[in-house]
Amino acid sequence: MNPFDTEIVRDGDHWTGPLRHPAQMLATQTYDDHLSVHDEANAAALGLAGAPIEGPTHFSQFDPLAHARWGDEWFRTGCISAHFTTMVVEGQGVTAEATFDGDRAEIAATRDDGAPVLSGSMSVRGARPSALDERLAARRPAGALQIVDQLHEGMRSDGARPTSMDLDTDNGALYPFSLAAKLAKITEPSAWYGGSEHPFGAPFVPMEMVSVLTNKIGDRWPIRQPSLGLFLDLEVTMLDGPLFADTEYLVEREIVGLSQSRRVESYWTRSTLTEASSGRAIAEMLLHSGVFKDSYPGYSAPPDGDA
């Protein structure tokens, strides 16, 4: 059974989906008592062209490609691993494409003006390495840090935190919309998510919403404030999926890397979601979060030549 009504253009092992126009859902997102970079004024203050749409939104455009190739295994053991390149604002169009090779594919998304949105990989049945395996391993030493300097590799969350997602409840200040609201605007709708058809036994959470389920709860890492952050890289891996709505999971987090570039300081967090009732590990998420140096009033530029 095909869960998506999506036209796919096939050229051998290179498949392309249709042009889609993703919706902005985070305009009122808040954390640490301030609006985020997804607010138009904050985005403008950083010199951005507009308030960016959250990166995971683009993951949904790859679901029809992956399912058409790998079937339901995509929802059981699928992994999507992406480096975000160019921001997308509401009204702009995005096209997703994948080049398949066995249980793995190279992926890319492109904006309607030709700008690259993301690049990476997707796979099933544990095929590695992923695109972010390679990026994490290749990162340079972080050097002196001023905003994320209270973090260190191996730092763990204070125990497991329960999380769940139902259809109609907003997901808090970080994600001020419900699953139903997302499904009403998702680029690739499917009755398997919230409707009457669900071959896994119950409605399940779309791949793009795993970051919401994971990040909506628990204490935030100690990042110096005020500062504005953004997703740089994201990987979602199903170990024994999918993740279901109306089901309690436990989230544990660990810092697995620190980085910086000219504009941002950044940190890599690996999160594991375990089914509370059984103790089974269902999914993992690797998130590379950046914090804009220009957004932190206390930031002092290093001497010329330093990182």
Domain-wise residue ranges, the chain: 9-295
Q: Which of 294, 298, 151 has the alpha carbon at shortest distance from 222? A: 151
- Please provide the size of the chain in residues: 307
Tell me what pLDDT residue 47 has.
63
Can you tell me the distance from the alpha carbon of 131 to that of 143, in angstroms, rounded to the nearest whole number? 24
Can you tell me the distance from the alpha carbon of 241 to that of 214, in angstroms, rounded to the nearest whole number? 14
In DSSP terms, 283 is beta-bridged to: 238, 273
In DSSP terms, 101 is beta-bridged to: 104
CATH number of the structural domain 9-295: 3.10.129.10
CB 198 within 8 A of CB 192: yes
Can you tell me the distance from the alpha carbon of 204 to that of 194, in angstroms, rounded to the nearest whole number? 7
Can you tell me the distance from the alpha carbon of 37 to that of 28, in angstroms, rounded to the nearest whole number? 10
Tell me what pLDDT residue 59 has.
98
Tell me what pLDDT residue 305 has.
40
Can you tell me the distance from the alpha carbon of 67 to that of 175, in angstroms, rounded to the nearest whole number? 27
| Averages of pLDDT over each 10 residues, the chain, 307 residues | 94 98 78 53 60 90 98 97 94 97 98 98 97 97 96 95 95 89 96 82 94 88 90 97 96 97 96 98 97 91 52
Can you tell me the distance from the alpha carbon of 180 to that of 169, in angstroms, rounded to the nearest whole number? 8
SS3 147: coil
Tell me what pLDDT residue 197 has.
74
